[in-house]
Structure 1
Amino acid sequence: MKLFGFFKNKENDTFKIIEPDRLWVEDNFRWLIDVFGYPYPKSEQILLVANYFPKTFASDNVLIENIIEDLCLLIGVVKEKISFEVVSDIRDIYGMPYQIEGMPFETALEIEEKKYKIHIANSLQKHPKRLVYNLVYEFIRIKLTENKLEYDTGKDTNLFLYLAGIYFGFGVLLSQNLKDTGRVDDGFWETKWNYISEMPNEIMAYALATYSKLIEQDAPKWKDNLPSDLKNQFEKAIHYLNDNPTALYDKKELKSNELFKKAYDQYLKNEFVAAIASLQPILSLTNDNVMKADVYNNLGYYHIRLKNYEQAVAYFNCSINIISNYGYANDNLGYAFIQLGKLEEGRAFLEKALQTENNDIAYTNRNFALYYQAKGERNKADEYFKKSFDAITDSVDLLEYHYADFLLQNGEIEKGLEFLKKAVEKGEPEAIERMNEIKKNGTY
């Protein structure tokens, strides 16, 4: 007698994907890697929990503005660039019979003058998870647009956005919303919905497995948050990739990313010499020009923090020779030249950083302030320091330290010491050294 579940056909355990779909996934991941580099090993996928969405979960009600604020931080977009409009339609009229054929309107992105407006169906607020999913989808568009990527490939565009979402860490959230079926009956009126994404389960599973292999995790913790059928296919896809490895998983590139992350962690601890030592081997490991440009830029920056400005200039030039419109490298090169007293050379690179539009304006304004300070133009320097503080979206290295120096030079002792103390509280070695000198010498 054959019992159910026994003598299971082994063929059912084999992951199946047609060759064109497999190549499509790998080619698009390769394109994302060429632009953004390999994802860091041990990266996590973002889940709909308070750890990732603190503003959203801090409120009793799911508010669109809170979700947007959380997504801005998660994906690295300036909040001031984003606005939204809630749109009402026939779905909001109680007692009005309707049936929607095809894809219903839920969100749409409008881009104008480097700002983004998201149009959101009012009815979507009744489905918080789908609301988050749709906003994630639009933020993926914004992320690609911010990086000036031409991602509109026609019929495959929507499917590509799923792959980009996986790459940026939103794969689990997108996976949880491939299907949405439900029914609400209040005793007078019944509403049914049945949504199925155009992304096939097999391709989604293979893309998630490909990402998982890129970060060297065959059994990531986040797989347990996938829908059960997709989790099963994901596990099969991992086995398939183990048996059919591709050139996408370059061990040297994976090692390069591991070292790059290690160097960044060392930098956060102010271990600049160690960070430089971690970065150096990457240059002989990687064939990724984006990675090389990042490594040269970071080598230069860590040398800046050691006040090795001449060495820093050499590294920044190497970075710019690879990617001429690299905003951060141009900005850093401008800073290094200003510290060397080569003011006009420095200013020229700050102007170029502005033109790239991929710089951090708070850093650029700080550097312009140092330029005007060095030229003795006190009012202009003060103006740009204030612009830098106003433009902060994240902590700006040495801003309080340099502003304290500016204030102390101009006799504003009390205010200068106040800002120097803030720099010390940030743990900046330059500020700590300066404060110790002041205490030792009894100046001010």
Structure 2
Amino acid sequence: MMITRGRQLSVATLIFVASMFALSYFKDIPNVFSRLSSEKDRQKVLIILTQTRCGSSFTGEVFAATNNSTYLYEPLYPFGFDCTPGISKNRKLRLLKQLLSCNFTNLDEEYKYGFSVSGWKDGASCRKDGFCFTGASVGLQDSYRKSCKRLKPNGNCGYPMRDEILGNVCQNSSPIIIKTTRVCSVEDLEDIYRHLKRMEKNTYVLHLVRDLRSIASSRMKLEGKSKIKKVLGEIRNQYCPRQNANIEYLDSVDQGNTVQSSIVAEGRYMRIRYEDFAINTIASANKVFQFINLPLPSEVTRNIRNHLHPNITLLKERVKKGGEGSKQAAKVLQSFNNPFGSVRDPSKIVEQWRGLLPFEAVKSIQAECGDVLKKLGYKLFESEEGMKDLSMRSY
């Protein structure tokens, strides 16, 4: 078959275009891999957003066991729980943005302001140490000392912590993990998320929730049975509205009725129930690590087992004997016996509220917050008999 000159030109043109496309494609492959490598190597930030008595201390410490992580436990403590829009809330969120940017300057000034607006009186240790809850921020003290000795070999590495050393520890860590009950909503984190994205940090929000009836039972154990009315007021006026506001915001995002959420749209939001995390801790932790694109570290698995199944007899013997490991054993025992501690078997307390909370209190919570409970997948009970029938799960 004879090919005309015109067809020869067309074929030649096609071959030329295809060659240029192939050249461009294969030439760009190194850039593609470079971008993928850059994405993988970016510093990760995990924000655990929750409320008090939701098992967040236990959850935070699980992830804080990750090697090379920096864990910040309630760094916004001085500001209290107020969710009212205004200067205090804006300043609190600005401080969180600053800390997650590894900037620890002017902390004393911010803490002083936070305590002045919240009215909390127990701020001496925060300002003395230079950072709130240095002991509860697992691993922070050790990382600080190592970094301080390296950067300031002849300097003082005690308290108060130096902001430049804390910044160095933070900058050389991944992931940075923060557990906070002082941020009121996912929406409050949107600006912080966009800021950290511009800094090329991969940021994720883990939203930890818990059955409001279980929270009420936990609060009642702390306050005493005589304070049941106070506890129910807290559930009605604080816990329930916050959970509902987050549900409505996320529903609105899903339905396209509000400003697009960068956190949700980019797959950086995950909600987890405390009950699921407590019953299947290792499996749940694995899901969270998949969420932040990391494999489940072996040190985290070991930490989970130590938290869930502590050998109390062996720990007591180790403390009595003294020597290596005795201080850590004492710390575990102290946490085990502390209502704010994180060492215990959570699976034994997930449904404990059903035998402790009066049914009248349960009815009150369900009447006020039934929609929230149902949207989070919790079962409502119509009778005391049903509530106490543990053959039927409540979640």
TM-score, normalization by structure 2: 0.28
Question: Which has the bigger relative contact order, CA under 8 A and spacing at least 6?
Answer: 2
TM-score, normalization by structure 1: 0.26
